[in-house]
Structure formats: structure tokens, C-alpha cells
Structure 1
């Protein structure tokens, strides 16, 4: 059955009704009313399909004449507009946007957030800090959802994509040198490795475990971090860039320093702790390192 004539309405409302009835199906030809200026007679003229606009109304001798949309303009619906609509502005990289669909004669340009960003403002996905992992990954519409690493799992870095990882399982010939925590993996080392030297990575893991297990001494640890971590220098670079400016906790700041400090500075940590009135903590670290040498004697 041929569609009934549509009453002459304002263009936006008419287009809305047309879209509801016809979508963009070129087989159907919706119509609009036009009064012939010469005869004063009302005529039913065919609308122009998407990608075109009205060039001339129909007459008694000729049908509606449509013209294609010029570059960077479009019409998405059946219409009798005298001109095409301008496509939206470019998707701006500085606004963390990229093109999802380029402008065409029958459709506007569509932007989306670049990977790693979300929402109307394309804000960056939040990172989950050390001891936390990604539970639900962020999308273009939703921010990252973090969770505290459960027992047996860890995360030793800040990330917007990485979940908590499971602690490694040490075998019978590779004893556990250091149990894992939610901030670091378990450390395994063969007897041969222990006899020859204590690897710097085992020292890092050991120091982190001792430090995080002593967080009740907040004031003294703050003094230590302020004195040595935020002001530490090696190879001409300041470690202080990782300090309160990043809003990190004491543990986060210590872990960041720990990951980059050279071995010589790590081995001086007991001495540094003693100078910060944490002598008992320094002695505990000495005993921990010494115990590694005794595992396979």
C-alpha cells in the first residue's frame, strides 16, 4: 500500500516522522505537500533520498529534482531540505578522540574515544595501583574497576589493564626465599643460586616485604621516606619525582624507589634505616639477608 501523504510540518518534525516510517529505504518514496506557485494547486512531491537534497519541487510536468550532497555535507534521512547539513568538526586528537566513521553523503562523522579513554570527555582510564588489579577493564563508556589482590595474588605496578597475578609456585628444589604478598610475587631460588650470591631481585622483594610489614611505624617511616627516598639521587636523577606529587602512599613511594635503586644503595638500606631511628628494622633486614645464605648449608 502506498504511504499516505504527510502534512506540511516544520522540517525537523517532518524528518522525524519520515525516519520513523521509512528509515532510509530507497525503495519507498515518502512525499511532501507543495503548493504550485503558478496555479496555487497543492501537489504531492516525492522526497529526496539520503545523500541528496531538494534542487527543485515537482511540477505538473516534472518530478522532484534532487542533487547530491557536496563534500563534507550530508543528509541521513529522506528529506526536502534546500541544502545538505554540514558534517561535524573533526575528531580532535588533543581531546583523545579518533574517527569511528568518516563523513559520507548519507551520514555524519562519528567520533569515539581513543583506546584507554572513556566517557563524553574521553578521560583516561584509572590505573590500579600496586597491590590492586583490574577486575573489569575500562571501555569507551566505562572507567576501569579495580580490586585489591586476594590472598595468593599480587600486583607490583600501576596499570589500567593488568589484573592481579598468581604467586609463583616454588618446587621442592627451588625453596621459597620470600613468601609473596599482594604487592610482590613469591621468590624462589635454587640452592646453587643461594650459595653463589643473593640476587638483587630477591633483595628487592625481601626489602619490600619487611617494609610493608612495618607500616604501623608511620611517623618514623615518613621521616625515612622524606630523608632518603624523596631526596635520593643516583646517576644525577632525582628520585623525588615519585613522591607526594603523585599522591602515592608511603608503600607506593618506597616500592617505586626500590624498583630503580642500584644494588649498592639497596645494601646500604639497614644503615639508612638506623639513621632514621629505625635501627631495629635495619637489623631485621640484615638477619633476613643473612638467612638466605644458610638455607642450603
Structure 2
């Protein structure tokens, strides 16, 4: 699972691992490197020479987030916002990382069209029967 490349000042042939893997044991003068896959709950999304995978992001429902795409050994969790919330900040790897509750309609009003990405995204209209 490793791609060898020249690393370091002495230009030894060492391990550059594919996505989903990290270096388990680096190369020596007499032996090649050993590469290991990322464990459940961790990922590596680019070729690397690192010894630890990144921890998967947690989409906390208590903070208005839900899982849009589960974490795999090759990609981070992607989060979406729950109904009634809007996204305050995005990341390239995990989608929405921070959400906040929409403001509520005033008494005598109802939701006309729920918004998604704005604190003022809740469109209210007078309640009529």
C-alpha cells in the first residue's frame, strides 16, 4: 500500500502512503517501511508520511448538526444542519462545522418558507386559516 519516494537529507527511500493509511514503522538502512490503515473513527485524505490518522469530525445533534456522509478511512465526516438551524461556518472537509438556531416567528405569524444558511432565513407570514 506504500509508494516509495526519496525523503530526508540522506534521500533514503521511505514510505509515502496512499489515502486511508499512515506510516506504522519508518524505513531504516536495512528495512523498508511498514504502512498501516487508519482505524475506525480516523481518516487520512491525502498521500502522506505521517504516523497518525486524523480524528473524524463529530456532527453533534445538540448543536444543530446531522451526519450527511459518514467518516471513512479516506474522508472526514460531512455534516449538515438540522431543521430549524442555519450553518454559521463551513469547512472544506466536513461541511457545516457550526450551526445556530433560526429566530422564531412572532406571535400571530407562521413560517412561510424555512431558510437554510442565514440567521434571517426564516420567512414569516401572518397566520390565516
Report TM bin, short chain.
0.5 to 0.7
TM-score (norm 2): 0.66
Please point out which of 54, 69, 82 is paired with 1:85: 54
Name the CA distance, whole Å, in 2 between partners of 1:77 and 1:124. Answer: 34
Contact 1:32/1:47 (<8 A) preserved: no
**Residues 102 and 116 of structure 1: CA distance in aligned 2, closer, same or farther (over 3 Å):** same
Please point out which of 112, 117, 131 is paired with 2:85: 117
Q: Which runs of 5+ in 2 are unaligned?
A: 89-97
Q: Where is the helix percentage greater, Structure 1 or Structure 2?
A: 1
Q: Of the two, which has the highest radius of gyration? A: 1
What value does the CA root-mean-square deviation take over the aligned residues? 3.2
Name the CA distance, whole Å, in 1 between partners of 2:36 and 2:87. Answer: 38
Q: Cα offset for 1:73?
A: 1.6
Contact 1:30/1:78 (<8 A) preserved: no
Aligned to 2:21: 52
Between the two proteins, the alignment pairs up a number of residues equal to: 117
Corresponding residue SS for 2:123 = strand
Name the CA distance, whole Å, in 1 between partners of 2:123 and 2:84. Answer: 15
Question: Is 43-52 or 118-127 further displaced after alignment?
Answer: 118-127
Does 1 or 2 have the higher relative contact order (CA < 8 Å, sep 6+)?
Answer: 2
Aligned to 1:146: 123
2:77 is the counterpart of 1:100:
no
TM-score (norm 1): 0.33
Please point out which of 93, 98, 103 is paired with 1:126: 103
Contact 1:74/1:108 (<8 A) preserved: yes
Contact 2:22/2:52 (<8 A) preserved: yes
Q: Which runs of 5+ in 1 are unaligned?
A: 1-25, 36-40, 148-154, 158-183, 186-297
2:48 is the counterpart of 1:74:
no
Mapping for residues 9-48 of structure 1, pairs under 5 Å: 29=3, 31-34=5-8, 41-48=10-17
Q: Cα offset for 1:145?
A: 5.1
Corresponding residue SS for 1:94 = helix
